[in-house]
Chain A
Amino acid sequence: MTVLYAAAAVFVALIIIAWLTPRAAMPRPPAESEPVQSPPGTPSDAAAFTATAEPSGTDAGAAGTTAPSSETQRNRTMHVAITVNGRRYERQVEPRLLLVHFIRDLGALTGTKVGCDTSQCGACIVLLDGMSVKSCTCLAVQADGCEVTTIEGLATGGELHPIQDAFWEKHGLQCGFCTPGMVFASHELLTHTPDPTDDEIRQGLEGNMCRCTGYQNIVRAVRHAADQMSERSRE
């Protein structure tokens, strides 16, 4: 019976989550073992209306948006200010808008990928105030006032970040779709464990899916990145 109750509880929880979030992407909370932090803040109003991100009056960005909604819907949007790769974007958004859609709809920042709708694949990982977060499992309103780094913002001064370079050097990518998320999951791992064993790397990446590489060259890439980064810090 306990099993049945547990199953029922999970079912109800899933129904609630499904109701709270759009069908286009139904995020589930990440498993406890996954190296992904909970996003800061809590959704104050996750009721589902339309998800249009509209530039607000003080908008500094020139990002594209979808067509205007009706007056009623506009009243149900919320104001957010999110800094992405050092540039501040102010928008009126629906409370249900996922952070990953907020980012991808800004205009040119499509490097962050959506590979699933259950928070499994990790393709959407970005840094939110320095922590890796699955941006499909975070609402844009939760990121209000935060700083986001996407894959487009990781390389500086035209030079690849050592993790990006290591993925290139060790053939840690094939189709490239999981790569932005893998790079950020590796970033998180190396922040906390600068000299990981291969086992620690594999554990650290178990929240990210790759179907091309069999993970082996990703593990090599992270190992190589760790070596390069520690060499740099010694210099």
Chain B
Amino acid sequence: MAERTQKQKPTTGRTEETVTDGAPVAPQGEKLKAELDDLLDEIDEVLETNAEDFVKNYVQKGGE
């Protein structure tokens, strides 16, 4: 997998130690999944009723 080959860094000096330290933070994986499921359950109430019109009418002038 590409993810594995990416472990070959183009530069030297990144030690094993930092690789270990870089392990993902205690993932809120389960919590996130539950939150996403809850959101998808209720999304019909939250979503704009006519997605087509909502998207079409969102027109901005360029800024900056």
**A and B: interacting chains:** no
